[in-house]
Chain A
Amino acid sequence: MFSSLFSTRGGSYSFVIFFLTTLGLLISALPVIVVTLMSFSAAETAAFPPAEYSFRWYEALWAQLSSDESSSAHSLGDAMFTSVLVAALVMLIATFVCVPLAYALVRGGGRVRAGMELLFTLPLVFPLVILGIAFLLIAESLALDLGIWRLVIPHVALVLPFVLRNCMSAMNGIDIEIEEAAISLGASWPRAFLDVVVPLMKPGILAGLIFALIISFNEFTITFFMYTIDVSTLPIWMYSRTVSSLDPAVLSLSVGIILVDVVMILIIDKIIAGRASLF
Chain B
Amino acid sequence: MSTDLKIEGVSKNFGSVSALRDIDMNVEKGSFVCLLGPSGCGKTTLLRIIAGFEHATSGRLLLDGVDVSNVPPHKRGFGMVFQSLALFPHMSVAQNIAYGLKLRGIDKASQRDRVEELLNVIELPTIADRPVAALSGGQRQRVAIARALAVQPKLFLLDEPLSALDAKLRENMQIELRQLQRKFGVTTVLVTHDQTEAMMLADQLVIMDHGVVRQSGMPSQVYREPADAFVADFLGTANVVKGEVSESGAVTFLGILAQDKALPVGGAGIEVAIRAENIAVVECENPERSILGTVEFVRDLGPNVESIIAVGEEKLRVRSRAREVVSLSAGQQVGLKIDPDLCSFFSR
User: Do A and B truly interact?
Assistant: yes
Residues of A near any B CB (own CB < 8 A): 175, 177-178, 180-189, 191-192, 195-196, 199-200, 275, 278-279
Taking a contact as CB atoms under 8 Å apart, the answer to whether A185 and B151 are in contact is yes
Taking a contact as CB atoms under 8 Å apart, the answer to whether A278 and B90 are in contact is yes
Taking a contact as CB atoms under 8 Å apart, the answer to whether B103 and A278 are in contact is no
Q: Name A188's closest neighbour in chain B (CB-CB).
A: B74
Q: How far is the CA of A278 from the CA of B148 in the complex (A)?
A: 23
Q: How far is the CA of A90 from the CA of B148 in the complex (A)?
A: 42
Taking a contact as CB atoms under 8 Å apart, the answer to whether B74 and A278 are in contact is no
Write out, one digit per residue, whether chain B residues 70-114 have a CB within 8 A of any chain A CB (1) or not (0).
Answer: 001111111110111011111000000001100110000000000
Contact partner of A186 among B82, B86, B151, B157, CB < 8 A?
B151
Contact partner of A184 among B78, B83, B84, B104, CB < 8 A?
B78
Q: Give the residues in chain B near A279, CB-CB below 8 Å.
A: 89, 131, 133
Q: Say which size band chain B's interface belongs to.
A: 20 to 34
**Known contacts A278-B131, A278-B133, A279-B133; is-contact A185 B86 (Cβ 8 Å):** no
Chain B: minimal CB distance from A137 (Å): 45
Taking a contact as CB atoms under 8 Å apart, the answer to whether A185 and B90 are in contact is no
Q: How far is the CA of A278 from the CA of B91 in the complex (A)?
A: 9
Contact partner of A175 among B77, B86, B131, CB < 8 A?
B86
Q: How far is the CA of A181 from the CA of B88 in the complex (A)?
A: 9
Chain A: minimal CB distance from B81 (Å): 9
Q: Name A186's closest neighbour in chain B (CB-CB).
A: B103
Taking a contact as CB atoms under 8 Å apart, the answer to whether B89 and A183 are in contact is no
Taking a contact as CB atoms under 8 Å apart, the answer to whether B89 and A180 are in contact is no
B184 within 8 A of A: no
Residues of B near any A CB (own CB < 8 A): 51, 53, 72-80, 82-84, 86-90, 99-100, 103-104, 131, 133, 147-148, 151, 157
Q: Name A196's closest neighbour in chain B (CB-CB).
A: B88
Taking a contact as CB atoms under 8 Å apart, the answer to whether B82 and A177 are in contact is yes
Q: Give the residues in chain B near A184, CB-CB below 8 Å.
A: 51, 73-74, 76, 78-80, 148, 157
Q: How far is the CA of A200 from the CA of B148 in the complex (A)?
A: 21
Taking a contact as CB atoms under 8 Å apart, the answer to whether B74 and A186 are in contact is yes
Other A-B contacts than A200-B90, A275-B90, 17 sampled, CB-CB below 8 A, are: A175-B84, A178-B88, A181-B80, A181-B87, A183-B74, A184-B51, A184-B73, A184-B157, A185-B79, A186-B77, A186-B103, A186-B104, A187-B74, A187-B99, A187-B103, A188-B72, A199-B90
**Known contacts A196-B88, A200-B89; is-contact A180 B99 (Cβ 8 Å):** no
Q: How far is the CA of A250 from the CA of B85 in the complex (A)?
A: 56
**Known contacts A186-B77, A186-B151; is-contact A181 B89 (Cβ 8 Å):** no
Q: How far is the CA of A152 from the CA of B157 in the complex (A)?
A: 50
Q: How far is the CA of A279 from the CA of B75 in the complex (A)?
A: 31
Q: How far is the CA of A196 from the CA of B133 in the complex (A)?
A: 16
Q: How far is the CA of A192 from the CA of B73 in the complex (A)?
A: 12
Chain A: minimal CB distance from B250 (Å): 55
Q: Name B78's closest neighbour in chain A (CB-CB).
A: A184
Contact partner of B86 among A181, A187, A188, A189, CB < 8 A?
A181
Taking a contact as CB atoms under 8 Å apart, the answer to whether A186 and B100 are in contact is yes
Taking a contact as CB atoms under 8 Å apart, the answer to whether B151 and A183 are in contact is no
Taking a contact as CB atoms under 8 Å apart, the answer to whether A185 and B82 are in contact is no
Q: How far is the CA of A180 from the CA of B78 in the complex (A)?
A: 12
Q: How far is the CA of A249 from the CA of B168 in the complex (A)?
A: 72
Q: How far is the CA of A191 from the CA of B104 in the complex (A)?
A: 13
Q: How far is the CA of A192 from the CA of B157 in the complex (A)?
A: 19
Taking a contact as CB atoms under 8 Å apart, the answer to whether B90 and A177 are in contact is no
Q: Give the residues in chain B near A275, CB-CB below 8 Å.
A: 90
Taking a contact as CB atoms under 8 Å apart, the answer to whether B133 and A180 are in contact is no
**Known contacts A278-B131, A279-B133; is-contact A182 B88 (Cβ 8 Å):** yes
Q: Name B147's closest neighbour in chain A (CB-CB).
A: A185
5 contacts between A and B (CB under 8 A): A178-B86, A180-B82, A182-B88, A185-B74, A185-B103
Chain A: minimal CB distance from B248 (Å): 58
Q: Give the residues in chain A near B74, CB-CB below 8 Å.
A: 183-189, 191-192
Q: Name A192's closest neighbour in chain B (CB-CB).
A: B74
Q: How far is the CA of A185 from the CA of B80 in the complex (A)?
A: 8
Q: Name A173's closest neighbour in chain B (CB-CB).
A: B89
Q: How far is the CA of A182 from the CA of B73 in the complex (A)?
A: 10
**Known contacts A184-B73, A187-B103; is-contact A177 B83 (Cβ 8 Å):** yes
Taking a contact as CB atoms under 8 Å apart, the answer to whether A180 and B86 are in contact is yes
Q: Give the residues in chain A near B88, CB-CB below 8 Å.
A: 178, 181-182, 196
Q: Give the residues in chain A near B79, CB-CB below 8 Å.
A: 184-185
Name the residue in B77, B82, B157 with the highest tally of chain A Cβ atoms < 10 Å from its Cβ: B82
Q: How far is the CA of A200 from the CA of B100 in the complex (A)?
A: 18
Q: Name A189's closest neighbour in chain B (CB-CB).
A: B74
Q: Name A191's closest neighbour in chain B (CB-CB).
A: B103
Chain A: minimal CB distance from B135 (Å): 12
Q: Give the residues in chain A near B51, CB-CB below 8 Å.
A: 180, 184
**Known contacts A177-B84, A180-B82; is-contact A185 B89 (Cβ 8 Å):** no
Q: Name B79's closest neighbour in chain A (CB-CB).
A: A184
Q: Give the residues in chain A near B103, CB-CB below 8 Å.
A: 185-187, 191
Chain B: minimal CB distance from A253 (Å): 40
Chain A: minimal CB distance from B132 (Å): 9
**Known contacts A177-B84, A181-B82, A184-B51; is-contact A278 B89 (Cβ 8 Å):** yes
Q: How far is the CA of A279 from the CA of B132 in the complex (A)?
A: 8
Chain A: minimal CB distance from B181 (Å): 17
Q: Give the residues in chain A near B151, CB-CB below 8 Å.
A: 185-186
Q: Name A202's closest neighbour in chain B (CB-CB).
A: B90
Q: Give the residues in chain B near A187, CB-CB below 8 Å.
A: 74, 99, 103
Q: How far is the CA of A138 from the CA of B185 in the complex (A)?
A: 68
